[in-house]
Amino acid sequence: MKKPPYRVYRKKKEEKPPVHIPEKIDTPEAEQLVDDLYKIGNYLLTHWKKIAAALGVIFIIGGSYLGYVWYQSSIELKASQIVDEGLFRLEEGKEKEAVKLFSKAEKNYPEAPSTLIGKFLKGKIEKENSEFTFLIEKNRYLTSSPSKSSLIAIYIENGKLAEAENIISRMKRDEDWTYPEALYDGIIIALKKGNREKAMELLEILKGDYKNLPITTLAERLLE
């Protein structure tokens, strides 16, 4: 009996992909790149001490700045807590307690933004010129402008019209956000001096630049 034929299956050999060997780069641009890299490496090796010292200085300055920012933030946080408590006392009608808290913030954290607000409110309660003068000199956007207006109001109330006019003359429309109020105060001063023409000039400025503000309506009624 014949044996059936058998096929022999041979495992195919795995063919590895051919390795591509890049051709030698020999161009002026490549030579220039290699030369530049060599110069950079040589410079780093030669001046590594100076570079390390410069990096150390940068790290020290950066760390000091971050520490300063953190310190200022912590001061503002503490000052704001005291001033906020003072505001609650003020809402309750306890002005003396509020003033004590504002004074506490001023004593412990004099440069914090919240302290400057507390100082302003303290000046409004006590009608103390020195508080407003201090804030004006600080030239802070949030407190300097209203301090000028508050000081002008005090001078007008006390009949010191020349001092009030002096402050108004130094106020600028693009810097002081209470400038419309200064114009209104100027109208009051002009009327007190009997200079209705000057008052009308200031009213026209108010109507032209700030026609939608309530203070402009008040000024119009004042000159009816």
- Is residue 174 located within the same domain as residue 119? no
Q: Domain range holding 214? A: 148-224
pLDDT of 191 higher than 50: yes
110 occurs within a structural domain: yes
Q: pTM higher than 0.75, yes or no?
A: no
Contact 106, 118 (CB under 8 A): yes
32 occurs within a structural domain: no
15 occurs within a structural domain: no
- Is residue 154 located within the same domain as residue 223? yes
What is the per-residue pLDDT for 68? 47
155 occurs within a structural domain: yes
Does 216 or 69 have the greater pLDDT score? 216
- What is the SS3 assignment for 94? coil
Q: How far is CA 137 from the centre of its chain?
A: 18
Among 126, 161, 189, where does a domain finish?
126
- Is residue 122 located within the same domain as residue 153? no
Out of 50-64, 132-146, 158-172, least confident range: 50-64
pLDDT of 12 higher than 60: no
- DSSP class of residue 112 equals S
Does 200 or 5 have the greater pLDDT score? 200
* 216, burial (CB in 10 Å: exposed 0-12, middle 13-18, buried 19+): buried
- Is residue 119 located within the same domain as residue 173? no
181 occurs within a structural domain: yes
200 occurs within a structural domain: yes
- Is residue 158 located within the same domain as residue 122? no
What is the per-residue pLDDT for 20? 56
DSSP-H helix ranges across the chain: 28-46, 48-91, 95-108, 113-126, 129-138, 141-157, 161-169, 179-192, 196-209, 214-222
Summarised one tens digit per residue, pLDDT across range 69-116 is 555 566 777 888 888 888 888 888 888 888 888 888 888 888 787 888
pLDDT of 155 higher than 70: yes
- Is residue 108 located within the same domain as residue 180? no
- Is residue 56 located within the same domain as residue 119? yes
- Is residue 107 located within the same domain as residue 172? no
- Say how many domains are in the chain: 2
Among 126, 160, 179, where does a domain finish?
126
80 occurs within a structural domain: yes
What is the per-residue pLDDT for 10? 55
What is the per-residue pLDDT for 121? 83
What is the per-residue pLDDT for 17? 63
User: Mean pLDDT over all residues of the chain?
Assistant: 76
Q: Name the residue among 177, 173, 183 with its Cα closest to residue 205.
A: 183
pLDDT of 31 higher than 50: yes
Summarised one tens digit per residue, pLDDT across range 48-72 is 666 666 666 565 665 555 444 555 5
2 occurs within a structural domain: no
